Structure formats: structure tokens, C-alpha cells
Amino acid sequence: MTRAYALALGAGTQVFTQGIGNAVFGASELTTTLMLGAGWAINLTVAEHIIRRHGASRPRATAEVGSS
């Protein structure tokens, strides 16, 4: 669910990445495509960080192997 939410919010992040990319590198088809991809990549990176950070703090269930 966190990953899906991050992808859905990618459009909002793309506004910032595209604006910054056009200001720094100029407006072209290549920079537009790269900055749109960067918006999704940033959101997915943050989502993965959150998922892994919260997953590491949870105790894991261990399966006990009984001797029969």
C-alpha cells in the first residue's frame, strides 16, 4: 500500500523535479523525461526507506521445529 501511495503522489513530486531540471539543464525532451522519472524514483526511494525502517523494528516470528 505504501508503494502504491508513493507512485500516486509521484505527479506532485514531478512538478518540482521538472521545474528544477528545466532551470538547471534547460528544457528539452530528454530532461523532461528524466525529471519525470526522477519524481517517481524519489517517491519510491522514500517509501522503501520507510518500509524497511518500520520492518526492522518489528519482532519477527520464529518457527519452532519440534523433534518428533
Rounded to the nearest integer, the mean pLDDT of the chain is 85
Interval 31-57: pLDDT, tens: 999 999 999 999 999 999 999 987 766
The pTM assigned to this predicted structure is 0.69
Question: pLDDT band for position 58 (50/70/90)?
Answer: low
Would the pLDDT of 8 be above 90? no
CA angle, 30 then 45 then 55, to 5°: 165
Q: Where in the chain are the domains?
A: 2-56
- For 9, 11, 27, 32, the CA distances from 15, given in Å and listed in that order, are 11, 7, 14, 11
